[in-house]
Amino acid sequence: MKMRTCLLAFLGLIVIGLSCVPVARAETTGESPATESPAESKKPAAFADRGAQTCIKCHDQSPVSDILKTPHVVKGDGRTPFGQDNHDCETCHGASPEHIHSHPASGEKKASTAVVFKGPNAASVEKRNEMCTNCHENGMRMNWRGSQHQSNDVACVDCHTVHVTKDPVLVKQKQPEKCFTCHAEQRAQSFMYSHHPVREGKVSCGDCHSVHGSPGPKLMKEFTVNQTCYNCHAEKRGPFMWEHQPVREDCISCHTPHGSTEARLMSERMNFMCSACHSGSTSANSGAAFGGHGALSGSQKNIAISSGLANQRTCLNCHSQVHGSNSANGAYFLR
Ligand code: HEC
Ligand code: HEC
Ligand code: HEC
Ligand code: HEC
Ligand code: HEC
Ligand code: HEC
Ligand code: HEC
Ligand code: HEC
Ligand code: HEC
Ligand code: HEC
């Protein structure tokens, strides 16, 4: 008896739901909607009447039910999917009467929800992202539109998981694995001899990158690469009495951020790296580059020039203050 009442009520809802369609169209085309009857104005009837209760009848198992323990499910908080309109699950999955009430013959598929986020039935990236940006288009996602991820059709849920007590991408130790599913090169670099301790869980990709979008290059967290580095390596910021020009311009002219076979994240073997800019034949410093070394005594001159390229640290043996010097006599970064 109870079942039949439900069924009748449900059919009634569908009828109201269908009759709402033209109204919705009118709204999207900007025409003023037709006057609504009191019954229609309550709420779009296609949504399940009892919100999450309807869904949980069938979906009461982990991981689906884990969402009930997350910040998305706070009944008293009108900003959450469970705090408004009683749409609950359907705030994200869309009104899904076909899904709730389809009873497929054995061997046949059940109709999907209006929006499926993962797997073979997933909705378009645009549709899925729209469900999230309905609520999340401010704060740190201000720059999402036009960002590298948005314009390459990456979905919010390619990184985020919502049916889990703690979203792994928000956990420092677990975040890189998410990123590595698409960024294999950075994964390989993270295993190199010298690397930022990202795999070790001490630094996260998000410490340097604003993955939702950035006004800076390469999704940098700050406006420039250098400002991003200064967040943790403040002692390199200076100002120094004697500045080494490439340090001020771009840390990446000598370092590589994700991993290197050379110590100290050097982009090349040390002395080759210095010589790339300071060589007698190839740079604007022509002649002047090693001219100063002429003033050294014989043996010192040899160190600098003949065995220099063979020894990783040779230039640094004398020029120890490559990032800049505050010594009165530091013009050559010797002290
Ligand atoms: C009568 C039981 C029942 C109810 C009620 C129900 N579901 Fe389902 N749902 C299922 C079954 C069974 C599947 C697996 C379908 C399949 O694999 O064929 C499923 C699958 C899904 C999927 C995955 C769909 C896909 O194509 O990958 C989502 C999302 C989902 N349900 C959400 C919901 C939401 C949200 C509600 C409430 C609005 C809900 N379900 C109500 C039984 C139900
Ligand atoms: C109805 C609005 C609404 C929708 C739709 C919504 N969210 Fe949220 N979301 C919230 C609110 C509110 C919070 C809690 C924010 C807070 O406490 O400051 C939240 C929190 C989060 C958090 C942080 C969770 C944590 O553990 O701190 C993530 C990540 C997130 N949402 C991602 C998503 C994704 C991805 C989607 C789309 C699948 C989505 N949200 C859809 C309102 C929404
Ligand atoms: C490339 C992976 C990636 C994509 C795509 C992505 N996020 Fe995030 N999201 C993150 C990471 C990582 C964090 C943690 C904060 C950080 O490190 O910047 C985060 C944090 C969040 C938070 C919680 C932090 C807060 O306080 O605001 C919300 C909410 C969120 N994302 C929503 C979204 C929405 C909505 C989309 C789609 C428009 C999206 N994200 C797309 C990786 C991603
Ligand atoms: C904040 C948006 C949001 C809310 C609210 C939400 N879901 Fe989901 N749902 C998702 C996303 C995103 C996925 C993809 C898997 C994931 O991220 O955990 C998903 C996946 C699912 C799946 C498929 C799981 C699988 O393993 O294939 C089911 C079933 C489901 N949701 C049911 C529900 C039910 C039931 C509720 C209400 C209790 C609900 N969802 C509330 C966003 C949401
Ligand atoms: C679903 C695949 C996918 C995931 C997951 C993903 N990315 Fe991306 N990412 C892309 C694509 C596609 C681009 C744009 C093409 C490119 O530059 O490789 C991109 C671009 C970037 C860029 C900018 C590259 C540039 O040249 O400007 C950075 C930085 C980045 N991702 C970092 C991350 C981080 C950090 C994470 C994890 C929190 C992550 N990505 C997760 C697919 C992904
Ligand atoms: C210590 C800061 C830092 C960390 C941590 C970091 N990155 Fe980067 N990333 C950079 C810098 C700086 C660049 C720009 C390099 C350039 O311009 O040559 C960059 C560039 C990128 C690019 C663009 C490709 C390229 O080489 O130009 C991708 C993709 C990327 N990072 C992904 C990641 C991922 C994924 C993680 C985490 C596993 C991560 N990054 C962690 C600083 C960092
Ligand atoms: C979130 C903090 C953080 C940011 C931002 C950061 N670093 Fe680091 N950096 C570290 C930590 C932590 C270490 C490891 C220190 C240790 O092992 O003692 C490190 C180590 C290094 C090392 C030495 C590596 C080695 O093998 O000894 C270099 C070089 C370096 N960072 C350069 C950079 C550059 C260039 C940037 C900007 C692109 C940058 N860092 C941004 C935290 C950061
Ligand atoms: C001209 C090349 C060059 C530039 C540009 C450069 N570095 Fe370095 N950096 C070096 C060399 C060489 C070492 C190794 C020093 C040693 O082993 O004593 C080093 C070592 C480091 C170290 C680890 C040892 C230490 O001194 O803490 C950090 C961190 C570092 N650099 C950060 C930075 C940051 C941040 C920037 C940009 C502001 C930057 N570097 C720009 C050449 C450079
Ligand atoms: C990306 C190019 C670049 C790299 C790599 C580089 N330098 Fe420089 N260096 C410069 C520039 C540009 C100046 C300023 C030259 C000028 O003022 O004439 C400079 C100045 C110097 C000076 C002071 C010279 C003077 O006349 O004031 C010394 C010493 C020096 N560099 C040593 C090194 C050492 C040692 C390394 C390797 C650790 C190195 N440089 C790597 C570009 C570079
Ligand atoms: C034995 C110590 C020593 C070593 C090793 C050394 N230098 Fe020098 N370098 C000096 C001294 C001292 C000066 C300053 C000479 C002067 O007062 O005119 C100098 C000057 C310079 C200058 C400025 C030249 C000018 O006239 O403007 C550059 C550039 C330079 N060195 C680069 C290098 C590079 C690159 C290496 C490694 C291949 C290196 N040095 C190895 C001691 C050394």
Predicted pLDDT at 296: 52
Q: Of 13-17, 129-133, 175-179, which range is least confident?
A: 13-17
The position carrying tokens 């130790």 is 173
Buried b (16+ CB within 10 A) or exposed e, 119-148: eeeebebeebbebbeeeeeeeebeebeebe
Q: Which two tokens stand for residue 45?
A: 């009837």
Query: How many angstroms is it from 81 CA to the middle of ligand 1?
Result: 18
Q: Is 317 in the pocket of ligand 10 (CB under 6 A)?
A: yes
State the virtual CA torsion across 256, 266, 269, 244 in degrees, nearest 10. Answer: 110
Q: Of 14-18, 112-116, 175-179, 312-316, which range is least confident?
A: 14-18
Could you give the C-alpha distances from 49 to 12, 87, 114, 119, in angstroms and in order? 12, 8, 16, 27
| pLDDT digit string, tens, across residues 127-156 | 999 999 999 987 666 789 999 999 999 999
**Backbone angle region of 153, left / alpha / beta, with phi > 0 → left and psi within -120 to 50 → alpha:** left
**Three-class secondary structure of residue 260 per DSSP:** strand
Of all protein residues, the one whose alpha carbon is nearest to atom 32 of ligand 1 is 113
| pLDDT digit string, tens, across residues 271-317 | 888 988 887 443 333 333 444 565 455 555 444 444 444 455 688 88
Q: Is 252 in the pocket of ligand 6 (CB under 6 A)?
A: yes
Sorted by sequence, the CB contacts under 8 Å of residue 277 that are 6+ apart come out as 246, 283, 285
Confidence grade of residue 334 (pLDDT, cut at 50, 70, 90): very high
Domain ranges for the chain: 44-102+111-143, 171-267, 269-280+290-335
Indicate the length of the chain as a whole number: 335
Please, what is the average pLDDT of the chain? 82
Query: How many angstroms is it from 183 CA to the middle of ligand 7?
Result: 20
Q: d(Cα 293, Cα 297) in Å, to the nearest integer?
A: 9
Q: Which two tokens stand for residue 304?
A: 């600098």
Query: How many angstroms is it from 8 CA to the middle of ligand 9?
Result: 82
Between 61 and 279, the more confident residue is 61
Query: How many angstroms is it from 322 CA to the middle of ligand 6?
Result: 23
Predicted pLDDT at 311: 53
Confidence grade of residue 161 (pLDDT, cut at 50, 70, 90): very high
Predicted pLDDT at 279: 73
